Amino acid sequence: MWYYIFALLMIKFLSKVKGNDLGKTAVVRLDFNTEDDWRMRTAVPTLKFLIKRGCKVLVLSHKGRPKGVDKKLSLNKNAKKLSGFLGKPVKFIPHFNFGEIREILEKAKPGSVFVLENIRFLKEEYENSSVLAKNLASLGCFYVNEGFPISHRKDASVSAITKFLPSYGGFQLEKEISNLSKIIKKPARPLLIILGGGKAGDKLGLLKFFERRADKFLVGGEPANTLLWIKGVDIGESIAEKDNRRAFLPILKFRKLLLPIDYHIQSKKILDIGPKTEKLFALEVARARTLIWNGPLGLFEKRRFEKGSMAIARAIVSNKKCFSLAGGGETVMFLRKYGFFDKFNFVSTGGGAMLEFLAGEKLPGIEALNKSKVKSLKPKLQVKN
């Protein structure tokens, strides 16, 4: 926990930059990896800040997990969307010819914005390659990480790049660290954790970290199905991480664990919590003073199975004494769809990154900013192609 308090002091955040003492060209890592545009929106203040200071901006992002070039995962459309948010043209660069990109940037006017093609088209990105990082670094004078959701990945444009450029944290990244660390440091009690959705295994770290710190765990979705199945409950054909039995077994021993007691079932699958569980969970929510929510409690995309998540969201927003935090792609989509979004105290842009942060792990992207000591070193271009 102290690690992140220390990080808040150590990292150079854009919010602390006075005047125009940044370089001319910024290489900015964002995360466009969601079906909706919410993550992109959260990066707008950082981009506008840089544009206002006359910086040329080169945006890097990934989408999906491509192995090589996959045109379906091109960032072309994202560049257009970003242009709408910024109210100015955004040029898309469809290739990785670094010499050419450097020339484009050199010729560009101050305040121009460019989006480079999906950086995961290059396998070196996943490998945290120093060669790729140097090439990317050679395109700018400083680097900004405004991609909290990707900060749990040790990728070249998140981690290695900070070895070659003076590196800053963006506005949203700063908000994420400060809000999430507050919860780890001294949460008001009772502290309640609500978990649902899919990817049950991703939630294990958080469950274990908070075993003694949280006062109650309310579990639905795939993690609940997995636990119910281990308990011997007939879950029919519901999704469950049966391969993860061993890892989930100790969770069943948590005294503070509440599992669904009734469900809505269709085609032999549990698709939502039932009315008794809604009441049971809502009672706990009403008592909470801090609450973390990751993962809807039912398949809310279908109207019939949105009730459980709706009941819990209503209970959360009507508890005015509670600091409410939510995160994760599906949860955010749910909150936005039903108008709960603005009623939460903080909504994290991170999915896996938020879970890892809250589980007390060091995120490689934040670690890299913490360690980056580069002042104004500009590496020589290493053109590979």
By annotation, the residues acting in catalysis are: 39, 199, 329, 352
Dihedral, CA of residue 263, residue 267, residue 269 and residue 272, to nearest 10 = -40
- Please, which residue, 147 or 352, has the CB nearer to Mg ion? 352
Shortest CB 121 distance to ligand 3PG, Å: 14
With respect to ligand 3PG, which residue has the nearer C-beta, 33 or 331?
A: 33
- Residues near 324 by Cβ (< 8 Å), separated by ≥ 6? 291, 293, 316, 317, 343, 344, 345, 346
65 counts as binding ligand 3PG under rule CB under 6 A: yes
Segment contacting ligand 3PG by CB under 6 A, of 145-153, 178-186, 201-209, 295-303: 145-153
Closer CB to Mg ion, 139 or 354, in the complex: 354
- The residue sitting closest to ligand 3PG, measured at its beta carbon, is 33
Q: Which of the stretches 7-15, 101-109, 149-157, 374-382 binds ligand 3PG when contact is defined by CB under 6 A?
A: 149-157
How far apart, in whole angstroms, are the C-alpha atoms of residue 288 and residue 323? 9
Q: Parallel, antiparallel, or unpaired: how do β-strands 216-219 and 191-195 relate?
A: parallel
The yes or no reply on residue 153 touching ligand 3PG (CB under 6 A) is yes
> Cβ closer to ligand 3PG: 62 or 102?
62
The stretch near ligand 3PG (CB under 6 A) out of 68-76, 87-95, 148-156, 200-208 is 148-156
Q: Find the binding residues for ligand 3PG in span 315-354 (CB under 6 A).
A: 351-352
Binding residues (CB under 5 A) for Mg ion: these are: 351-352
Write b or e for each residue in 183-220: b if 16 or more Cβ atoms lie within 10 A of its Cβ, otherwise e: bbeebeebbbbbbbbbbbebbbbbbebbbeebbbbbbb
- Asked if 67 is part of the footprint of ligand 3PG (rule: CB under 6 A), the reply reads no
The option from ligand 3PG, Mg ion, none interacting with 33 (CB < 5 to 8 A, set by class) reads: ligand 3PG
Q: Is 295 in the site for ligand 3PG (CB under 6 A)?
A: no
In the complex, the smallest distance separating the C-beta of residue 224 from Mg ion, rounded to whole angstroms, is 20
**For the window 351-370, what string marks contact with ligand 3PG as x by the rule CB under 6 A?**
xx------------------
Q: How many amino acids of this chain bind ligand 3PG (CB under 6 A)? A: 8
94 and 100 Cβ atoms separated by less than 8 Å: no
| 34-40 contacts, C-beta under 8 A, 24 or more apart | 34/329, 34/332, 35/329, 35/333, 36/332, 36/333, 36/336, 37/81, 37/85, 38/332, 38/336, 38/349, 39/149, 39/349, 40/78, 40/81, 40/82, 40/85
Return the amino acid letter for 294. Answer: N
Structure tokens at 172: 């949203």
Residue 153 binding: pick among ligand 3PG, Mg ion, none (C-beta 5-8 Å cut-off by kind)? ligand 3PG
94 or 205: whose CB is closer to Mg ion?
205
Cα dihedral sign for 229, 231, 232, 234? negative
Residue 117, binding choice from Mg ion, ligand 3PG, none, Cβ under 5 to 8 Å by partner class: none
Distance in angstroms (rounded) separating the CA atoms of residues 252 and 93: 51
Residue 336 DSSP symbol:
H
Nearer to ligand 3PG, 41 or 53 (CB): 41
162 touching ligand 3PG, by CB under 6 A? no
Query: Taking a C-beta distance cutoff of 8 angstroms, is the pair 366, 11 a contact?
Result: yes
> Binding to ligand 3PG by residue 199, rule CB under 6 A?
no
How many whole angstroms separate alpha carbon 222 and alpha carbon 322? 26
Given candidates 26, 150, 173, 297, which one binds ligand 3PG under the rule CB under 6 A?
150
Instruction: Please work out, in degrees rounded to the nearest 5, the angle formed at the alpha carbon of residue 188 by the alpha carbons of 184 and 190.
Output: 105
Taking CB positions, which residue lies at the least distance from Mg ion?
A: 352
Nearest to ligand 3PG of 149, 221 (CB atom): 149
Q: Which of residues 20-59 bind ligand 3PG (CB under 6 A)?
A: 31, 33
Residue numbers at the binding site for ligand 3PG (CB under 6 A) = 31, 33, 65, 149-150, 153, 351-352
